[in-house]
Amino acid sequence: MSGQSLLVPGELSPHRSVPGSIRRPEYVGNPAPTPYTGPEVQDSDTVERMRIAGRIAAQAMEEAAKHIAPGVTTDELDRVAHEFMCDHGAYPSTLGYRGFPKSLCASINEVICHGIPDSTVLRDGDIVNLDVTAYINGVHGDNNATYLCGDVDEESRLLVERTRESLNRAIKAVKPGRQINIIGRVIESYAKRFGYGVVRDFTGHGINSSFHSGLIVPHYDSPHHTTEIKTGMTFTIEPMLTLGTHDYDMWDDGWTVVTKDRKRTAQFEHTLVVTETGAEILTLP
């Protein structure tokens, strides 16, 4: 694996503004969102609005990813995605969610998830996950992907490639009538082939008018998560695979999650709606 030095927190830039004409999620300005009490199965109108939100989120992530290169700061990636979402009438869902200060999550190398964009400069050989969620027309669309920065070592390249494949396999396993733990069973069985760790404490989730509805989608084989998958359900699948342990530490910022052994980790995510025959990806650019 690359001999890159471990990450340390950088400096935060000032709060980015959102035009007043753009509708905010209800949690903005509050310490926490109002608990969701609605259904996990969504009507066709909600799903269509989620397609729009998902498309904007996917396009914003693509636009930010174009700027990934050695010497670029994660704050610059945040700026690009923020401006793209605002220009398309969407609110960056992470901005102000439980106090999160930025418009995307940028998680480099040993950061499992929730990395805060700051003055940190990307280095040749880094891998970086961008997690982008857009809120528009009263609903959210959430996606993430891990990208290569410059000349990345083979072990890290394979981790990224196989994490993407684990998501693809999990999506294919989604069928009405199955239990939701089929998703984690497929991911974990694939990851075990390569000796990868599968993160347990951060999961996929239900999503709709709520950023996180309360539905949990584990990425490991959990006998306790037996919710039946039903047509019209909307949720994310977002496996996090590691080169070592699935155990983690959290930085003092209360957000940045790093592998306990500081080995590298990758993640991919889509928002889905369950169809009569499988799943449709809502976060396509």
109: left (phi over 0), alpha (psi -120 to 50) or beta: left
In sequence order, what DSSP letters do the residues of 79-147 get, joined into one string? Answer: HHHHHHHHHTT-EETTTTGGG--SSSEEEETTEEE-PPPSSPBP-TT-EEEEEEEEEETTEEEEEEEEE
How far apart, in Å, are the Cα atoms of 170 and each of 37, 85, 225?
27, 28, 15
Strand, coil or helix: 197: strand
Round to whole Å and give the CA distance between 127 and 118. 16
All residues at 6 or more sequence positions from 258 whose CB lies less than 8 Å from its CB, including other chains: 7, 110, 111, 112, 248, 249, 250, 251
Round to whole Å and give the CA distance between 167 and 175. 15
Report the pLDDT value the prediction gives residue 217, as an integer from 0 to 100: 98
The number of residues in the chain equals 285
Report the pLDDT value the prediction gives residue 4, as an integer from 0 to 100: 76
Q: Which residues of the chain have pLDDT under 70?
A: 1-3
Report the pLDDT value the prediction gives residue 17, as an integer from 0 to 100: 98
All residues at 6 or more sequence positions from 123 whose CB lies less than 8 Å from its CB, including other chains: 4, 70, 149, 150
Residue 92 has φ and ψ, to the nearest 5°, of -70, 110
How far apart, in Å, are the Cα atoms of 142 and each of 73, 219, 238?
22, 17, 10
Report the pLDDT value the prediction gives residue 1, as an integer from 0 to 100: 47
Strand, coil or helix: 220: coil
Listed residue (187, 97, 99, 183) closest to 142, CA to CA: 97
How far apart, in Å, are the Cα atoms of 3 and each of 122, 155, 256, 263?
14, 12, 21, 11
Reported as half-sphere exposure (CB side, CA atoms, 13 A), residue 114 has a value of: 19
